[in-house]
Structure 1
Amino acid sequence: MSRTLALCFEYLGTAFCGSQWQPGGRAVQTELETAWQRLTSETGRWIFAGRTDAGVHALAQVAHIVSDTPRSLDTIAKAINAITPPDISVHEAWEMPTGFHARFSARQRTYRYVFDSAPAPSATLSGRVLRLDHQLDWAAMQAALDTLIGTHDFAAFAGAGHEGSTTRTCMLAQLRPAEWLGRPVTVLHLQANAFLKHMVRNIVGTLLMVGDGRLSLEAWQAIIASRDRRNAGPTAPPQGLYLESIGYDPALQPLATSSRWDGTTYFRTYQG
């Protein structure tokens, strides 16, 4: 009997060409599907909740597959972690109701972008943060971010080749000081119902121009109103970007979870 199985997992994106399968490239999807075939002899496709680019990391990506495997959820989580390389780690496995779709059932996505502006660079965090060699006006950057809250046309921040609507609803756009391995960093949290290709990195690239005084708040707002990507700033590097979490309707509950983690964690983040 077929089951809809879902995984929540993290990965370090440094050595990946992205999350989605690409010919000749090492993708997260390729590693996951290879491990699944070894475990179950099935060749099904794992569907991801969100796509990440080369070099972008994930803290809580979600993917699903329809499978006939009788294996327990705990066995699935343990076995995939044993088969996949160390830059992928499964947090939890769920059995979901029929019709669950990792991408289309999601109500929101949250990303974080991490900045390091300490006096000296960190070797430990290299490849995991955006290193800044000068201080930024964080207050001006937050003022710009405040204008993103609500439903807007984000065409000015869309990546090349995007098709369809560019209107998205942003629920959170906030800069926060944090500490990582004893080192002060600044973290940008962005949450929306969905994101356009390269949208977060294009927002960050333009936001940095606000932070270093090259772009006023009025100019930032004019860029958004223009709906023209050519007016916005450069695409920020990928290494500071993390897919933080996927939010689903609280009414959508797993039928069963692996015994090693609390399976409700990532299904209670959507507040409507």
Structure 2
Amino acid sequence: MRNIVMSICYDGTAYYGFQSQPGGNTIQDYIEAAIEQLTGENIILTSSGRTDAGVHARSQIINFQTASSIPLERWAFALNSRLPPDIRILEARMADPDFHARRWAKRKTYRYTINHNRIPDVFQRHMQFHHPASLDVEAMRHALQTLVGEHDFTSFCSVKSTKPSHVRTIYEVSLELDPHVPGVIHIFVTGNGFLQHMVRIIVGTLLQIGEGKRSAEDMSGILAARSRSKAGPTAMSHGLMLWDVVY
């Protein structure tokens, strides 16, 4: 048996998320079906983490065990010919027999994109959250820095979370203005792990700060409160993208 690891990307607009579920129509369902068509094997793949309905991935990592002898360089082409055009295998490589895409991940980066121009971009509307309001970008940037370090992120986690601990470490954050498109903001958050809706709730809170409904200094109090009710709304899913995973 070989342990194959793959880098994949997808536009999550049409799907119910990455992780397989009874209703089907997930990224995992389509990839596993493509592998079965190719090899005849009914495998269950492992991913670096789940993404919610409508969320995209620039670089998601998966792995699975296979008895197939298909050369590594053939996997991407063979699977892509069996997948919808909005899901693509970027590369395949051999992994250590014990490699586990989720457990071995050291850090992940998510990017959230906001377009605060009056008129949305027709061509990027599925990748950007359109928020046609003036935003205090410097206040948002200042508030974002508050989250760096090890904290209990209960305030920025769905109340439906079943995780035994909400303590996570954020290594890096940044808020960048798109150099090519005025009015477009990219928020990057890198950490050792993320809770359900964590980045989207962070962004929803930052938007309130940008609008002047809260101050940048409020972010530390929201974090310390450890209460979902103290943070802002959950931002729409389509602005979020899994940007990178490091092992």
**TM-score, normalised relative to structure 2:** 0.97
**Residue 7 to residue 183, structure 1, CA distance change in 2 (3 Å):** farther
- Deviating more after overlay: 187-196 vs 159-168: 159-168
In 1, distance between residues paired with 2:222 and 2:183? 31
Alignment of 1:31-180 (within 5 A): 31-162=30-161, 163-179=163-179
Q: Percent identity?
A: 39
Tell me if the contact between 2:146 and 2:219 (Cα under 8 Å) persists in the aligned partners: no
**Residue 34 to residue 155, structure 1, CA distance change in 2 (3 Å):** same
In 1, distance between residues paired with 2:72 and 2:182? 37
Q: Secondary structure at the match of 1:98?
A: coil
Q: Secondary structure at the match of 1:217?
A: coil
The alignment covers a number of residue pairs equal to 246
- Deviating more after overlay: 114-123 vs 14-23: 114-123
RMSD over aligned CA atoms reads: 1.2
In 2, distance between residues paired with 1:50 and 1:79? 24
Unaligned residue ranges in structure 1 (runs of 5+)? 249-272
The AA in structure 2 aligned to 1:229 is: R
Unaligned residue ranges in structure 2 (runs of 5+)? none
Note the alpha carbon deviations across 1:72-113, whole angstroms, 9 max, x for none. 111111101110000101111011011000000000000000
Q: Secondary structure at the match of 1:106?
A: coil
2:206 is matched with which residue? 207
User: Do structure 1's residue 245 and structure 2's residue 244 form an aligned pair?
Assistant: yes
- Deviating more after overlay: 40-49 vs 159-168: 159-168
- Deviating more after overlay: 129-138 vs 159-168: 159-168
In 2, distance between residues paired with 1:179 and 1:119? 18
Tell me if the contact between 2:155 and 2:223 (Cα under 8 Å) persists in the aligned partners: yes
The AA in structure 1 aligned to 2:133 is: H
In 2, distance between residues paired with 1:152 and 1:20? 27
The AA in structure 1 aligned to 2:57 is: A
In 2, distance between residues paired with 1:145 and 1:120? 26
Note the alpha carbon deviations across 1:136-165, whole angstroms, 9 max, x for none. 001000111111111111110111222211
In 1, distance between residues paired with 2:183 and 2:135? 14
The AA in structure 2 aligned to 1:16 is: Y
In 2, distance between residues paired with 1:40 and 1:179? 45
In 2, distance between residues paired with 1:200 and 1:84? 29
